[in-house]
Homo-oligomer: A and B are copies of this chain.
Amino acid sequence: MLYEKLKQIKSLEQERMESTRLRVDQLIKPQGSLGKIEEIAIKLSGITGVAMPSLDRHAIIVMCADHGVCDEGIASAPQVVTLLQTLNISKRITGVGTLADPHKTKIYTIDIGVNAELNDPAVFSRKIRMGTGNISRGPAMSRSEAIKALEVGIEIAELAIKEGAKILGTGEMGIGNTTPSTAILSILTGASPYEITGVGANYPIEKLDYKASVIERAITINTPDSKDPLDILSKVGGLDIAGMAGVMIGGAANQVPVVVDGFISTIAALIACALEPNVKSYLFASHASHEKGAKLASTTLGLEPFLNLEMRLGEGSGAALAFNILEAACRMNSDMITFEESGIGVV
């Protein structure tokens, strides 16, 4: 199913984008004066294939999973917080649920690998396994589990779209997940873990070198093939990261835009784009995460975030804030009049 969906992903509809660009240039403003809002509107018409898309209903898909590498003491919070926060996210009482628009944004909370039995009707039960293996001692998961996790992402993306979402956001909850994310970034860019390892959820700065050494060990022991995204994902990745990459693939395959959140989400985007480069055309960056490796990850992905709020929470909290801006870009495209319609004539 994964490969079938990857094949469905087309490049953007260039003719539609050209006609939208023409319209945007004729809107009643100095040409180019709405900057990236104009580019967003043009890209959205290319993604959706619609002249004047509307993004009035949003979904954030939060992938929740545990990370065996927590056994190495690389996280400041105990692993059980993943379980507790998964339940809280489904109740909309955490960061993402309160920042998201209460009337327009639905949150899908997915147990894709929480290390606990979790029977709550508000959480989608799609557990692949009880958290990943400890990557500093062996692989995170098998290759087939990585594929299954990607497919969960695709499935939930398609469910959200079926239920009305015009745009998707990607979020995660997984204590310890900056560690596999930084490992992936190191493999894809060649940067040393010692240069790019950050504090995640307030891990002590004085212990960062230790955290980097665990990441280095994970890479050394697993020897992932840097040209094979599934190999990287299964050996040093995470179920949450795989699920998010799946959401991006699912959105792209269905011509639905997907908002990348912060650091973990950007890493998932790098995996999704390594599997199929056309995925990138369907993505929008939201905020510039304050996590140390975030800037390198964004630069590598090649998408510039437009929100600078020094956030580093994850959960999809930055995506939640970006939706209204993308929606506004659609309104510019559909509701602003042209110089001709105004009777001014182009000035």
Contact = CB atoms under 8 A, between A and B. Distances in A.
Interface of A: 27-37, 76-78, 81, 84-85, 88, 92-95, 97-102, 201-202, 290, 304-313, 317, 320-321, 324-325, 328, 331-332, 334-337, 342-344, 347
Contact of A95 (B85, B310, B332, B344): B332
Nearest to A322: B325
Nearest to A93: B337
A307 B310 contact: no
Contact of A33 (B81, B202, B307): B202
B328 A33 contact: no
The count of identical subunits is: 2
11 contacts: A30-B77, A32-B202, A33-B95, A33-B201, A34-B317, A37-B311, A84-B342, A95-B332, A98-B328, A98-B332, A101-B328
Contacts of A28: 85, 88, 93-95
A308 B304 CA distance: 10
Contacts of A33: 95, 201-202, 311-313
B311 A321 contact: no
A33 B67 CA distance: 21
B35 A309 contact: yes
Contact of A342 (B29, B31, B88, B328): B88
Nearest to A40: B309
Nearest to A91: B337
Nearest to A320: B328
Contacts of A336: 93-95, 97-98
Given A202-B32, A332-B98, A309 B306 contact: yes
A321 B328 contact: yes
Given A28-B88, A81-B347, A347-B81, A36 B310 contact: yes
